[in-house]
A and B are shown apart, each in its own frame.
Chain A
Amino acid sequence: PEQSQAIVIYTGWERHALVGSDVRLSCSFFSWRWTSEDVSFSWTYRPDGSRDTISIFHYTRGVPYLDNKGPFKDRLEFVGNPGRRDGSILIKNLDLSDNGTFTCDAKNPPDIVGRPSSVRLLVFENPIQAGVITGAIIGVVLGLLVLIVVIYYLMRFLVARRVFSLSVKHGKKKKEGSQQRQGPVPPADPSKVKAATSEKKKQESRKDKK
């Protein structure tokens, strides 16, 4: 019987990923011997806040066995290369319930004495996505409302200014005309113009009342 020596297993310390994305959990080992044909990799999973550990992946004698009953059903993929001492797995379409600790245990017979290494998976919700559409609709509609009100009052203001400047010009022309005639000087024109416009307004409001 060959003497067994220690094997050192390496995984990451922590992995971060967004909900719905894929994450690759890498596992590798160091051993003094050549990689044997009976090399095996095992992944187990312990959810956050739970004491139960379940097996989700096992590779032995050249055949990978994936979880087909547990929480990672149809979501696991073996992307490692056992010949190169790589026992990495890929988890697809992550969910918030996948938060937890993944432990990789590799054995390279006769080197079986080793400490399994763990990697912690942290799955985050994408903070931007929630509520983008809501905010966009509200912002655009209210912005349009403000814009319409501003434009409306601006138009009114401009039109009123135009009317006033035109009436002042009209008054000036009248003044020049009467001075050329050398007749009696007519009363101050702006007040005359104002009286005329207020008269017009009174007539309009009387029409509206009817």
Chain B
Amino acid sequence: MVCLPHPIISFQKTTMWMLAGIVLLHVTTIILLLVSSIDNAWWVTDSVSTDLWGKWELTNKVWHYTNLKDSPEGKLYDYLQTVQATSVLACVFTILALFVFLAQLFTLPKGQRFTFTGILQLIACLCIMIAASIYTDKFHVNERPGGYGHCYILAWISFGLTFALAITYLILRKKKE
């Protein structure tokens, strides 16, 4: 069981609900991060949906998949690879953090903080922040038509969620019985 640092009258049920809520939030974050990393919709126009792995172009009402190396973004391919790597690392670390949290629920001595989980989640937060920042700074800087797609927005939302979860894990203590 877990509880907040300040002593409050906590019934069994509320701690169970809180625990379920945290785990649910963590799973949601994992799903959002995975969608953001896998789907190719960081930058979207009427006929193009692109990044991080490939470019979808709508020609004659049919979507075609092309390489990013040949497109105008090809010159920034090194930066794109960094964004790819940090985005994947964010997914890996946040999934790892979930498993470590579940393990620590059973193995952590009473009254201790979930530090390892918190640290892993913090690293995931850092990674997705690096990915989104590099992408914002280097790509599609002055392009007129088009805007950021749902994957880009999900990346920033995941940044907020992972940060909140990391702080939660670093503050939370295992309840003493």
Contacts and interface: CB of A to CB of B under 8 A. Distances in A.
A198 interface: no
Interface string A176-210: 00000000000000000000000000000100110
A96 interface: yes
A141 B89 contact: yes
A177 to B, nearest CB: 35
B112 A208 contact: yes
Interface string B73-115: 0000010011011101100100000000000000001111000
Given A96-B70, A142-B92, A209-B176, A134 B85 contact: yes
Interface size class of A (residues with CB under 8 A): 10 to 19
A138 interface: yes
Contacts of B86: 137
Contact of B84 (A125, A134, A209): A134
Contact of B109 (A96, A135, A205): A205
Contact of A133 (B82, B89, B109, B176): B82
Contacts of A135: 85
Nearest to A95: B70
B82 A205 contact: no
Interface residues of B, number: 16
Interface in A126-156: 130-138, 141-142
B111 A208 contact: yes
B69 interface: yes
A137 B89 contact: yes
B70 A133 contact: no
A130 to B, nearest CB: 7
B177 to A, nearest CB: 10
B111 A134 contact: no
B111 A137 contact: no
Contact of B85 (A96, A138, A205, A208): A138
Contact of B81 (A96, A133, A142, A209): A133
Contacts of B111: 205, 208-209
A12 B176 CA distance: 82
A138 B88 CA distance: 8
A209 B173 CA distance: 9
Interface in B39-96: 69-70, 78, 81-82, 84-86, 88-89, 92
Nearest to B92: A142
Chain A CB count within 10 A is highest, among B84, B85, B109, B111, for B85
Given A205-B111, A209-B110, A209-B111, A133 B85 contact: yes
A96 B92 CA distance: 35
A134 B112 contact: no
13 contacts: A96-B70, A130-B69, A131-B81, A133-B85, A134-B88, A135-B85, A137-B86, A138-B85, A138-B88, A138-B92, A142-B92, A208-B110, A209-B176
Interface of A: 96, 125, 130-138, 141-142, 205, 208-209
List the 10 shortest-distance A-B pairs measured between CB atoms, nearest first: A137-B85, A133-B81, A134-B81, A209-B111, A134-B85, A208-B111, A134-B84, A209-B176, A138-B85, A141-B89
